Chain A
């Protein structure tokens, strides 16, 4: 069975600082990995995905994530936080015709 663990339910950063949201996964087969963002009172929007091509994946809004098989991790980063990045972020995993499984989410706050 697949699972996702997001470390830290709430992360706070200053505007302009590095954003690092952590995600570790468990999967018995090569996974597909995703990061989604949810702004207040909205649905989920796909930020980026890893599907076994390049291990460093670039997404929208300046975010990127690196797939590290040895660490079973897929952490999300952004070099410089903006106020508009404040949202909830979800890591998710799927593989081999199995449904998408989400982590519990990390709420990102950006302090001016």
Chain B
């Protein structure tokens, strides 16, 4: 089944403890993105990648890192999480900008 898989689905962590949210797609898509969703703010892009080893900042990249060492994986790294990073995170992938993104099921992160 064609899909974007994120893990974990839920995560509660403490301030400053490094974490990684994994994202993998099995559709051979070039484009991958990370978004965060907050009430009243919609989806805001954190980072995106249009090819292996190519990543760019989105609208809200502060406090996040990504890597794209291979086409299928695009992990999101929070080196020192803070409470304002408590949010619902989505990974998405696409063949191109005209195809629309396929979204993962989301990761609900709480930083205390």
Are A and B a genuine interacting pair, yes or no?
A: yes
Binds A, one of B20-28, B69-77, B94-102: B94-102
Q: Is A70 an interface residue (CB 8 A)?
A: no
| CB contact list, A45-82 vs B, under 8 A | 45-46, 49, 51
Contact with B41, one of A32, A36, A96, A104 (Cβ below 8 angstroms): A104
Query: Do A104 and B105 touch (CB < 8 A)?
Result: no
Query: Do B45 and A97 touch (CB < 8 A)?
Result: no
A36 to B94, CA, bound (A): 14
A99 to B103, CA, bound (A): 14
A104 touching B101 in the complex, CB below 8 Å, given contacts A44-B90, A99-B48: no
| CB contact list, B55-112 vs A, under 8 A | 56, 58, 90, 92, 94, 97-106
Closest to B105 in A: A43
Q: Is A25 an interface residue (CB 8 A)?
A: no
Digitize A78-107: 1 where CB-to-B-CB distance is under 8 Å, 0 elsewhere: 000000000000100011111111111100
Q: Which 5 pairs between the two chains have the least Cβ-Cβ distance?
A: A104-B42, A43-B103, A94-B97, A102-B43, A44-B103
Question: Assuming A45-B103, A95-B97, A100-B100, what are 16 further A-B pairs, CB within 8 angstroms?
Answer: A32-B98, A36-B103, A43-B104, A43-B105, A44-B43, A44-B101, A46-B102, A49-B100, A90-B42, A99-B33, A99-B45, A99-B97, A100-B45, A100-B92, A102-B43, A103-B42
